[in-house]
Structure 1
Amino acid sequence: MLKISIIAGARPNFMKIAPIIHAIQNSGNYIKFRLIHTGQHYDKKMSGSFFEQLEIPEPDVNLEAGGGSQAEQTANIMVRFEKELHENPTDLVLVVGDVTSTMACAVVAQKLHTKVAHVEAGIRSGDWSMPEEINRLVTDSITNYFFTTSEIANNNLRSSGIEEERIFYVGNTMIDTLLKQRPRFQQPEIWKKLNLKDKEYLVMTLHRPANVDQEEKLKELMDEIIAHSGNLPLVFPVHPRTAKILQGLGVSHPRLHMVEPLGYLEFNYLVERAKAVVTDSGGITEETTVMGVPCMTLRDNTERPETMTFGTNELLGTNPKAIKPAMEKLFAGEWKQGKKIPLWDGKTAKRIVKYLLEISNNKEF
């Protein structure tokens, strides 16, 4: 029996681990898992119904290590996870993504001589100003088994000296969740309230400090998006903090609809039917690629270049003047179609569990 501790620290992590849990549950009684929520992010939408929607059990423990600065949060996670591992020893700690919990739990595991597997290993943006990039680099420097989403990630690992036999090219678990949940997308209340129609509105999300913390830049971005989005409604699920900044800047327009953050099923219902998405998120670029929705990313770099080479995503940068030509291209019907990304097929988690069992059978633990 292989014992695994699965780490999640934020809402997107649970989207990534849900299919892994399903694959474990369907693989026979060969793997026993313990689900650990570090509590890195408090999210009021993560109630019991959230876990029911994903069809996974509620975490075995919540370390409640959120809040404070980056350093304080890292320290809290490490102290509490160390205690958890002493009380519940395991064969393998499985971490996903690139949040602080990913890095902190990997460090603790290795210092307690426990093997680490990293799902979404090898992803790089090259931007060390992003906390996530530091988390990726540190985690991959002490990982034993690397589960990757793309050949680009594989090459990043090879170039850093990782042996081929420790790299497992499996695909993207976030897409497993998307494909499973797609038939269950739910129409949000604002659909009827705003009288939205398929392909006749845009969806926006902005949250990165480079975009929302510089007030003049944020105002210029918003002004350009409003000015060049034709007569289409702009649906902007916005964090209350960002909404307050926008209101203070006097950003408003009859076509701009700032709404409360939406649940996963409701948000992706909107994305799937949008004419395009304007975002600075990494994960959304993956989802738009799979659903064939044009995506404009307001960032200078991306850790998911396959969404551009294969997918529907274009990196516009952070210069507001890049928005007008991108919108003109969209409205002229000249946006690229995109094609399928290899192994983003909904079977990634099955491949991960298959490899874990093979590793276990080779008695590497």
Structure 2
Amino acid sequence: MYHITIIAGARPNFMKIAPIIHEIENAMKEGNAIDYRLVHTGQHYDKNMSGDFFEQLQIPEPHANLECSGGSQAEQTANIMISFEKELLANPANLVLVVGDVTSTMACALVAQKLHTKVAHVEGGIRSNDWTMPEEINRLVTDSITNYFFTTSETANNYLKESGVKENQIFFVGNTMIDTLLKQMPNFKAPQVWEELALKEKEYIVMTLHRPANVDEENQLKDMINEIMEHSGNMPIVFPVHPRTAKILENLDIKHSRLHTVSPLSYLEFNYLVKHANAVITDSGGITEEASIMNVPCLTLRDNTERPETIILGTNELVGTNPKNIKPFLDKLFAGNWKQSQEIPLWDGKTAKRIIEAIIKFS
């Protein structure tokens, strides 16, 4: 039996691993000698991750929760490594499969290699080339000790080849986040705020901001929001906001009649809002992918992106972090000149199937 330990550390990780679990279960039914153990490091505590969350994604609750939330970057990395080492010694695996670029990804890859267990990295090879982002350090370290890379784009493939990774270690499979998006689209549901604000199709904008560079610098946050409000016509702006960011907004006394801050939403509710929005303003990488597939204009308030395919083929534009850059992009949006999404290679809902087919071959 080939044992796979799957690591998830934060809510978006579960969106990425759900289709992989479904394909492992299909392969097991077909008589393949593989099984899996799902380990949640607990890196991000999220009260929305109840039983309903796992039910929506049609995956079982994790076999183990290491409960390693809180602390500095170094403390959290250390806590995850200590806890995961015990977990892996108690439940040995042939392969540890990590996804994305959170601290858990790097920490569990390190533990696995030191215990002589092979590592597969889903979303290997992604780069922003911005070393101020903790995620970029996580990607670089993880990819330097990975055995098998499951990639989302040719750009990622090229990064890996340039860094000396052999071709037979790279599997260009597509994007599992899109597998989940396409599968769950019929289940999207309107959040309470849809009725409360009497929102109408294509007549509002969704905004998300979470990166420290945007939300921790108080004047930066204030200038950005004021600029967005000034140049967004009569559109309501719906802003699902982290409690920490909500406190900063309160202290800054940012109040606009069209700016509606709401509590964080479930996956199905949030993507319902995105799908029906006129546009999304964000600093999240994952949302740029989903918006591109749903053909919703996306303005990214960052100076770089690790997902260039969303700009080349998708609906994403890199606005930057200077608030004064926002107006020309909103003008372009309201003039009706925004680009349409094109087909992104292998972002077709079949990525997880390709991953499991590859694992069965090398197992």
TM-score under structure 1 normalisation? 0.98
Provide the residue aligned with 1:285 in structure 2: 288
CA shift digits 1:133-160 (9 cap, x unpaired): 0000000000000000000000000000
Counterpart CA distance in 1 for 2:31 and 2:55 is: 23
Q: Is 1:345 aligned with 2:359?
A: no
Q: Is 1:230 aligned with 2:233?
A: yes
Paired amino acid for 1:158:
K
Counterpart CA distance in 1 for 2:347 and 2:141 is: 26
Provide the residue aligned with 2:7 in structure 1: 7
Deviation at 1:240, TM superposition (A): 1.4
Aligned with residue 181 of structure 2, among 173, 178, 181: 178
Provide the residue aligned with 1:19 in structure 2: 19
Q: Equivalences for 1:1-365 in 2 at 5 Å?
A: 1-27=1-27, 28-30=30-32, 31-360=34-363
Paired amino acid for 1:83:
K
Counterpart CA distance in 1 for 2:199 and 2:245 is: 24
Counterpart CA distance in 2 for 1:130 and 1:216 is: 20
Counterpart CA distance in 1 for 2:44 and 2:244 is: 16
Counterpart CA distance in 2 for 1:109 and 1:244 is: 39
Deviation at 1:250, TM superposition (A): 1.6
Q: Secondary structure at the match of 2:361?
A: helix
Paired amino acid for 1:26:
N
Deviation at 1:67, TM superposition (A): 1.1
CA RMSD in angstroms comes to 0.6
Deviation at 1:128, TM superposition (A): 0.4
Gaps of 5+ in 2: none
CA shift digits 1:246-292 (9 cap, x unpaired): 12112111111000010000000000000000000000000000000
Deviation at 1:29, TM superposition (A): 3.6
Paired amino acid for 1:214:
E
Paired amino acid for 2:297:
P
Paired amino acid for 2:107:
A
CA shift digits 1:27-84 (9 cap, x unpaired): 1242110000111111001111110000000100001111111111000100111111
Paired amino acid for 2:237:
L
User: Identity of paired residues, percent?
Assistant: 73
Q: Secondary structure at the match of 1:251?
A: coil
Counterpart CA distance in 2 for 1:72 and 1:210 is: 22
Q: Secondary structure at the match of 2:161?
A: helix
Counterpart CA distance in 2 for 1:65 and 1:261 is: 22
Q: Secondary structure at the match of 2:62?
A: coil
Q: Secondary structure at the match of 1:293?
A: coil
CA shift digits 1:96-124 (9 cap, x unpaired): 00000000000000000000000000000
Counterpart CA distance in 2 for 1:92 and 1:243 is: 41
Counterpart CA distance in 2 for 1:29 and 1:4 is: 16
Paired amino acid for 2:25:
Q
TM-score under structure 2 normalisation? 0.98
Counterpart CA distance in 2 for 1:114 and 1:29 is: 24
Counterpart CA distance in 2 for 1:207 and 1:78 is: 26
Q: Secondary structure at the match of 1:162?
A: coil
Counterpart CA distance in 1 for 2:311 and 2:89 is: 44
Provide the residue aligned with 1:363 in structure 2: none
CA shift digits 1:169-220 (9 cap, x unpaired): 0000000000000000011111011010000000000010100011111100
Deviation at 1:244, TM superposition (A): 1.4
Counterpart CA distance in 2 for 1:136 and 1:111 is: 18
Counterpart CA distance in 2 for 1:47 and 1:250 is: 33
Paired amino acid for 1:288:
A
Counterpart CA distance in 2 for 1:267 and 1:234 is: 14
Q: Which runs of 4+ in 1 moved over 3 A?
A: none
